[in-house]
């Protein structure tokens, strides 16, 4: 059935800032290939403007679709193998599209980092996705692909070097150059507003196993305060995106049948350096996290210039510790900037992986690593990510 679809991928939200970058990447990376794709959104005139702006062929199809018009979403889903959506915050606009794709067996990828919304989608619609065969893959951008696949890659490294996966992994952001995404900031504001309106969400938001319904694990390492880190001999600060990445990593372990072990622990922090300067920087990062969503924070639709995107980068170290104390190390790094340039490439490659690479997982709600890690990795490398074994 999927092979008879008109398109491989429809980019829903293509007239928005990130959606435009996705369309631009598809033109640049696949413009001379046989990839069949279309642009979708509420306003056909704006979509036509973006089509011209990114250099897409004039006959690139445009589809009118709107979250407030479920029939338009259903019609869009019927035409494509995969819907790639950048229309967030997903808690406000995402559920109707999940419903449409889950009902029609259409694969779906998004950029969601909204834990409580993702859990609601799992509880409410995973049964429909399993029945129809739709693979729904959340968090296919900077949150959480470099971390989700970084942990998977470290475990593959551990199996080669130590003979089996490790029960403990530390994720450490060594560097990150780029502006914080306006869409991510707005999603966090929406989540905070939801918690204020419904305090019963707080336990779910605080639970590292929020995305593994019916399955719990051990207490996880503290990641909410600056501290000196024995694993790296450096001060570390809380990483603002750990609240979603750690949940996705545990869901990957859960979906794959706990290959990392049922006592697996994982934490993410930002490296700030040794000594007094490192401590001062760690405290400054923690204070900056607290004010990041205040006045002056980026708004949805806003983003950096091309020069700013091109100068951005990120580098994440993963340290695995075996039960006998032996360690392995691996890293994931990438260019351009994480929040926009690299994110737009990652979600595009995720959609194409589901559409064209023979991913064999059944319908359901998936993480990127659990659904397609081995097939997705070479696509990510094409998109600028570097996976490296750093074990001494």
Each residue's pLDDT, cut to its tens digit, for the chain (392 residues) gives: 446 899 999 999 999 999 999 999 999 999 999 999 999 999 999 999 999 999 999 999 999 999 999 999 999 999 999 999 999 999 999 999 999 999 999 999 999 999 999 999 999 999 999 999 999 999 999 999 999 999 999 999 999 999 999 999 999 999 999 876 677 777 778 888 888 899 988 999 999 999 999 999 999 998 999 999 999 999 999 999 999 999 999 999 999 999 999 999 999 999 999 999 999 999 999 988 766 555 566 676 778 889 999 999 999 999 999 999 999 999 999 999 999 999 999 999 999 999 999 999 999 999 999 999 999 999 999 999 999 999 98
pLDDT at position 2: 46
Question: What is the spatial order of strands in the sheet that 80-85 belongs to?
Answer: 62-64, 37-41, 7-12, 80-85, 107-109, 135-137, 364-366
What are the C-alpha distances in Å from 337 to residues 141, 287, 313, 381? 12, 23, 5, 15
pLDDT at position 290: 64
Q: Which two tokens stand for residue 376?
A: 């997705």
Q: In this structure, which topology does domain 2-141+344-371 adopt according to CATH? A: Rossmann fold (3.40.50)
Distance (Å, whole) CA 87 – CA 70:
14
pLDDT at position 281: 96
pLDDT at position 296: 60
Whole-prediction pTM: 0.95
Task: Say if residues 233 and 274 touch (Cβ distance below 8 Å).
Answer: yes
Q: Is 30 exposed, middle or buried (0-12, 13-18, 19+ CB in 10 A)?
A: middle
Q: Is the dihedral of CA 319, 320, 326, 331 positive or negative?
A: negative
Task: Say if residues 66 and 74 touch (Cβ distance below 8 Å).
Answer: no
Q: Which two tokens stand for residue 126?
A: 């995973």
The residue ranges of every structural domain in the chain are: 2-141+344-371, 145-337+384-389
H helix or E strand, kind and range, residue 99: helix 95-104
pLDDT at position 1: 42
Q: Kindly provide the residue ranges of all beta strands, DSSP E only, lying in the chain, ordered along the sequence.
A: 7-12, 37-41, 62-64, 80-85, 107-109, 135-137, 168-177, 227-229, 234-238, 265-273, 313-321, 327-334, 364-366, 385-389
Distance (Å, whole) CA 242 – CA 240:
6
Q: Which two tokens stand for residue 30?
A: 């696949």
Q: Is 70 exposed, middle or buried (0-12, 13-18, 19+ CB in 10 A)?
A: middle
């Amino acid at each position: 059935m999927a092979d008879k679809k008109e398109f491989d991928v429809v980019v829903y939200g293509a007239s928005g800032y990130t959606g435009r970058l996705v369309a631009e990447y598809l033109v640049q990376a696949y413009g001379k290939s046989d990839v069949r794709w279309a642009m979708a959104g509420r306003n056909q005139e704006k979509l036509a403007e973006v089509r011209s702006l990114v250099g897409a062929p004039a006959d690139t199809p445009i589809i009118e679709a709107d979250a407030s018009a479920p029939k338009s979403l259903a019609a869009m889903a019927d035409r494509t193998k995969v819907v790639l959506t950048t229309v967030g915050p997903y808690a406000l606009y995402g559920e109707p599209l999940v419903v449409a794709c889950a009902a029609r067996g259409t694969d779906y990828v998004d950029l969601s980092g909204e834990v409580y919304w993702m859990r609601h989608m799992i509880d409410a619609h995973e049964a429909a996705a399993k029945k129809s065969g739709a693979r729904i893959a959340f968090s296919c951008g900077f949150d959480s692909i470099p971390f989700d696949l970084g942990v998977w890659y470290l475990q593959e490294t551990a199996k080669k070097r130590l003979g089996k996966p490790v029960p403990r992994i530390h994720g450490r952001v060594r560097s990150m150059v780029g502006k914080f995404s306006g869409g991510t900031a707005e999603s966090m504001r929406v989540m905070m507003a939801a918690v204020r309106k419904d305090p019963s969400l707080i336990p779910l938001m605080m639970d590292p196993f929020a995305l593994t319904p019916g399955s719990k694990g051990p207490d996880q390492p503290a990641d909410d305060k600056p501290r000196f880190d024995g694993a790296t001999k450096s001060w570390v600060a809380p990483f603002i995106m750990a609240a979603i990445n750690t949940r996705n990593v545990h869901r990957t372990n859960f979906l794959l049948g706990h290959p990392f072990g049922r006592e697996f622990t994982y934490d993410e922090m930002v490296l700030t350096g040794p000594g007094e300067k490192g401590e001062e920087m760690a405290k400054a990062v923690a204070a900056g996290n607290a004010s990041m969503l205040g006045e002056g924070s980026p708004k949805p639709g806003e983003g950096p210039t091309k020069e700013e995107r091109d100068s951005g980068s990120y580098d994440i170290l993963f340290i695995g510790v075996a039960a006998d104390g032996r360690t392995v190390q691996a890293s994931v790094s990438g260019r351009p900037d994480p929040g926009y340039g690299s994110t737009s490439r990652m979600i595009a490659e995720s959609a194409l992986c589901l559409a064209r690479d023979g991913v064999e997982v059944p319908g359901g709600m998936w993480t990127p690593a659990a659904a397609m890690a081995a097939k997705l990795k070479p696509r990510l490398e094409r998109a600028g990510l570097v996976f490296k074994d750093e074990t001494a």
